[in-house]
Amino acid sequence: MRRPARGKSGVPNPIIVALDVPTASEAIDLARRVAPHVGAFKVGKELFVSAGPDIVRTLRATGASVFLDLKFHDIPNTVAKAVAAATRLDVQMLTIHCSGGSAMMKAALKAAQETAASMGRPAPLVLGVTVLTSMDSAALAELGGETVVEAQVERLARLAAASGLSGLVCSPLELQRLKPILPAGMNFVTPGIRTGAEKADDQKRTLSPREAIAAGATHLVVGRPIYAAPDPVAAAQSILASITG
Ligand code: C5P
């Protein structure tokens, strides 16, 4: 597998492909094929639970950056230990739920920094997940509490920044509202990317790759528009062209 490409401008390629497939062999095959056109691979719950940490080691051994998207949400001590373990796997990004609270977020950040320092490598970017992009106001209402998605996202984003996090996972539609209220240099990782070529699914708040970058996304998480496309390589190429061209 080749090392992920950089864009024409030399800027790191912002496309993170979600390897949301059930087996290691499917993930490795997909990663090998799209690697020249993307910047990193996201390993999520399905793949990690079925293939285990070896899939991260295999991807890292190719030189690819890995985003471990397990969305940790537990007591601070447990999350800190999980983050330390992920840092030992040498992932470049990982996720925690902001709704776990400031103590949990601070514990996660500390674990990432201390573990990385003890291994002499850069700490992974700890990303806070605000409100899942599949959720709308009706879905929030079922949980009780805040029902305005934007208000809940803003509240959690401020809490994440105050807890020291320098990256968030959020809908690209939230960027206009979030960027002005958060510190400069914040990373915005946006799922909910749709090119218009694919069928409707559970993502309710979406933008195109180009629109998301224009809105300030620093990384784009793209799953089904690449892995479920009839030709994943062509889909990855076309998304890259749409943001660099
Ligand atoms: O297939 P699709 O492009 O919708 O995939 C989006 C990916 O981003 C999935 O792996 C999903 O778990 C993840 N994600 C998300 N919304 C969030 C955080 C992560 O869709 N808020």
Q: pLDDT digit string (tens) for 169-180?
A: 998 989 999 999
Ligand 1 centroid – CA 120 distance (Å) = 31
Q: Which of 19, 20, 168 to mutate to test the pocket of ligand 1 (most atoms within 8 A of CB)?
A: 20
For the cut 70, the answer to whether the pLDDT of residue 200 exceeds it is no
Helix (H) or strand (E) holding 65: strand 65-72
* Residue with CA closest to ligand 1 atom 20: 191
Q: What's the token pair of residue 151? A: 């208000």
pLDDT band at residue 212 using 50, 70 and 90 as cut-offs:
very high
pLDDT band at residue 88 using 50, 70 and 90 as cut-offs:
very high
pTM of the model: 0.93
* Residue with CA closest to ligand 1 atom 21: 132
Nearest residue to 242 via CA among 217, 210, 194: 210
Domains and CATH numbers, the chain: 15-244 (3.20.20.70)
User: Mean pLDDT throughout 130-151?
Assistant: 90
Averaged confidence pLDDT in the chain: 92
Which of 97-101, 129-133, 225-229 is least confident?
Answer: 129-133
Closest ligand 1 atom to residue 227 Cα is 1
Q: How many CA atoms lie within 13 A of 50 on its CB side?
A: 13
Q: Which of 15, 95, 133 to mutate to test the pocket of ligand 1 (most atoms within 8 A of CB)?
A: 133
Name residue, tokens 């864009």.
7
| Catalytic option among 42, 71, 199, 204 | 71
Q: Is the CB of 132 under 6 A from ligand 1?
A: yes
Res 11: pLDDT: 57
Which of 74-78, 126-130, 145-149, 229-233 is least confident?
Answer: 145-149
Residue 179 falls in the annotated catalytic set: no
Name residue, tokens 């996202």.
153
Res 9: pLDDT: 47
Residue 139's beta-bridge partner residues?
A: none
